[in-house]
Amino acid sequence: MEYRPTKPEYWDESALERNLKQAFDICNGCRLCHDLCPSFPALFRFVEGYDDDAASVTRSQMEAVADECFQCKICALKCPYTPPHRFDLDFPRLMLRTKAQRVRRVGLSAEDRFLGDPERSGRLGTAAPHLANWAAHRPGLRGLLKRRAGIDPRRRLPPYADRRFSRRVAGRPVPPAPDVVLFSTCTTEFNYPELGEAAIRVLEHQGLSVATLAGERCCGMPALDGGDVAGAQARAQANIAALAPHVERGARVAALQPTCTFVLKREYPLLVEGAVAERVAAAVVDVTDFLAELAQQGRLASDFQQEVGAITYHVSCHTRMEGGGGRARRLLSKIPGTTVVVAEACAGIDGTWGLKARHYDASQKVAARLMERLASRPDDLPCSDCKLAGLQIETAGRAPLHPVEVLARAYGFSGAEAR
């Protein structure tokens, strides 16, 4: 099966249909992933409707299964048939290929065009943040947003910052050969700039030189969510070009969002061919994992100024794909007087999927296990690497802090107080 959009077979409709029918037959016979997401129950229902003959499933039914896939990637962790198995099955990437061919055939939907371009909405929102944040709580205007962009009025939206992250750090000196280059992400740029500032403070406190990335674009995952491969490739090419000079001088690339980490590490070498993309991908690390590496090596600064108490740490799906939350738990446990309980469950946001009105109820079912865990420990400080997951977590009471923000608070840095 072909998962590289740079290859002609990726766009061959008859090849895709053969691959989908083979995958549906494999999955229907295996069923290890029956309870992971809505895609698999839909797949089983369609195949069972033809007396377990996957070859009879129609194109519209295949695309309906793809629409229920929110690219959490957890099925790839459980699947016994992933590459290098002879079946060569990567279900999430096959679902993405299905969406990509549909977009090439009929074009992007209005909601995927809007949600797939967070830079455009971010520029608009931060141009008048008070107005944008006020509008996010007005039922009439949320109804209009649902009609225009498909976003459910019940979904909590991230606040727009009064000053974007890139503008807050515009006056910082640029190290000629930084140890770390920060990939700040759209959510840091437009919504949570304090996360980027905390990351700089914490990393520099470890004696590291830190650069921010001039010309950074969205990682491209929102575009991929809707099947806009060309949009994702354009963003990947721009980011690779911006990161490559730093990587060639030995810098690590620390990403502040697990999804962005995954896309830069795992998807960029498929979206953009060549050794440069491979080298950039190899240099990428999630910022929490990077700090955990320092802690494991005995290089993490231990001059903590205050305790943070009990923490419930949410392990996002893409964090699980990079090895789970054990490293973060050990990192946060370095703070004196801190206990960490790990909640490994999906928050049901999953990029743009959980924002859409047509998926909102299903997303709440997906998030139910996590919400039960949070409700059982109401006095804990919630913590998550994923700010989008935080939109769901916040409905349980408090907005979660990123592990970097927890460390910043423990070090006693100003601006790291509870929110």
The number of distinct structural domains making up the chain is: 1
Largest CA distance in the chain: 66
Which pLDDT value is given to residue 176?
Answer: 87
| 17 assigned to some structural domain | yes
| 116 assigned to some structural domain | no
Bridge partners of 281?
Answer: none
- Which of 167-176, 192-201, 410-419 has the least mean pLDDT? 410-419
CB 341 within 8 A of CB 377: yes
CB 260 within 8 A of CB 221: yes
Query: Predicted confidence band at 419 (pLDDT cuts at 50, 70, 90)?
Result: very low
| 357 assigned to some structural domain | no
- Alpha-carbon distance 100 to 97, whole Å? 5
Q: For residue 102, what are the domain limits?
A: 8-106
| 289 assigned to some structural domain | no
Burial of 395 (0-12, 13-18, 19+ CB in 10 A): middle
Q: Is the pLDDT of residue 396 over 90?
A: no
| 205 assigned to some structural domain | no
Beta sheet of 339-343, edge-to-edge order? 339-343, 310-314, 381-384
pLDDT tens readout for residues 11-55 = 999 999 999 999 999 999 999 998 888 999 999 999 999 999 999
Query: Predicted confidence band at 415 (pLDDT cuts at 50, 70, 90)?
Result: low
- What's the Cα-to-Cα distance from 234 to each of 217, 220, 231, rounded to whole Å? 9, 8, 5
Which three-class secondary structure state does DSSP give residue 330? helix
| 217 assigned to some structural domain | no
Share of the chain above pLDDT 70, in %: 99
| 213 assigned to some structural domain | no
| 41 assigned to some structural domain | yes
